[in-house]
Amino acid sequence: MDSILVTGNGPLAGEIPIAGAKNACLTLMPATLLSEDPLTLTNAPRLSDIRTMSLLLQSLGAEVTALQDGKVLAMSSHGLTSQRADYDIVRKMRASILVLGPLLARTGYAEVSLPGGCAIGARPVDLHLKALEAMGAEMDLRDGYVHARAPQGGLRGGVVEFPLVSVGATENALMAATLARGTTELRNAAREPEIVDLAQCLRRMGAQIEGEGSSTITIQGVEKLGGATHRVVTDRIELGTYMLAPAICGGEVTCLGGRIELVQAFCERLAAAGIEIEETGTGLKVARKGDRVRAVDVTTAPFPGFPTDLQAQMMALLCTAEGTSVLEEKIFENRFMHAPELIRMGASIDVHGGTATVTGVERLRGAPVMATDLRASVSLILAGLAAEGETLVNRVYHLDRGYEHVEDKLSAVGARIERVQGA
């Protein structure tokens, strides 16, 4: 099993290209199931999760071809051979549940294993199922699978009132509604950029959608969708992660392709900590001029609030801030599992339930640490960049699910980081 070795060595300088969004691409790929015509995605990230979704789609009979070194995905679902998403694939990645809505809408039936993913707390699929039930679907959960059947004549439009904001459930319902008879209204819908990106892609395929980016999305169902070519939106989580590299190490780095609108709440917290952020013609320029950042409080929230997927990375920064910061995790329980590993590096962190109190120290110390999930893994790498000595981050298979070529990107701006091949 591979590890990442990081040696702290001071300020960074240069440019880091930001990839297409993992979470957007994993949503866009199942959209191919809605049409017999080809769907091509450009600016695709090259990640293990993308390969897993490709395998899942291929198991259903879809064709998925990676072109231009994996940055372009050419897909076609003209000849589906199965409506069953097997446990052996689905267990590896929670986003697999996103084949449910498209399969059900196009074929009238879907059999999907309950999904897996990072161990960061309960993320039930009941909101997905209730949304599809509002369009007339019948659901039966047995033997670890969701058995979904559309009424005769297909799904029908309806009102879906989400009791909680759910990105995945909004995406599943949005895709299913494009082929439902009549009008569907999604209320208390998620507003994330990935939702907007999906709606734009579906519209290119012929869907009739209004209101994406707001809490109410209206979809007028159409008889069929066609093909399209769509560019995947910039990954706002990778963007925020690499913005933290010069913040924690010092120096100045431009994150190519970044836009403040993707990470507005995050930028506000960084600015409050003393980090300079400038939007340029090519991306976001981030600089730390002083020796240490200021402590700030952070509360995670659905978009447009502070992203839960940047909480671990922000904690790494605040471990070296002047003063005491309070981080409240409002999205997922069990998402402070990186805290004990940061404490191994000399951080002062006190966790009680969904709140972590972080008292900054002058310098972290390198140590062997273990990644517990995707975002925790990169938070430990960031901490290693600012620590004295060497930090060995173990179990980085999590990292490869969400960050492409992290060692190359950080090395290019002056970080001392390398992958250590496992046995």
Within 10 angstroms of residue 133's Cβ, the number of other Cβ atoms is: 14
User: What's the gap between Cα 32 and its chain centre?
Assistant: 20
Residues 6+ away with beta carbon under 8 Å from 281: none
Q: Catalytic residue positions?
A: 118
Q: Which residues are annotated as a binding site?
A: 22-23, 94, 123-127, 309, 331
DSSP three-state, residue 261: helix
Cβ-contact 104, 85 below 8 angstroms? no
Q: How far apart are CA 67 and CA 78, in angstroms?
A: 19
Q: How far apart are CA 313 and CA 171, in angstroms?
A: 26
Between the alpha carbon of residue 96 and those of residues 19, 26, 112, 200, the distances in Å are 21, 8, 8, 21
Residue with tokens 């995905």: 73
- Enclosing H/E stretch for 53: helix 48-59
> If you ran DSSP here, which 8-state letter would residue 364 be given?
E
Q: Which residues are annotated as a binding site for UDP-N-acetyl-alpha-D-glucosamine?
A: 94, 123-127, 309, 331
Q: From 58, 47, 40, select the one nearest 23 (Cα to Cα).
A: 47
Q: Which residues are annotated as a binding site for phosphoenolpyruvate?
A: 22-23
DSSP three-state, residue 323: coil
Within 10 angstroms of residue 354's Cβ, the number of other Cβ atoms is: 18
Q: How far apart are CA 30 and CA 315, in angstroms?
A: 34
Residue with tokens 């309960």: 122
383: left (phi over 0), alpha (psi -120 to 50) or beta: alpha
Peptide bond into 304 cis (omega under 30): yes
Q: How far apart are CA 195 and CA 209, in angstroms?
A: 12
Q: How far apart are CA 54 and CA 99, in angstroms?
A: 12
The string of DSSP letters for 54-118 reads HHHHHHTT-EEEEETTTTEEEEE-TT----EE-HHHHTT-GGGGGGHHHHHHHHSEEEEEPP---
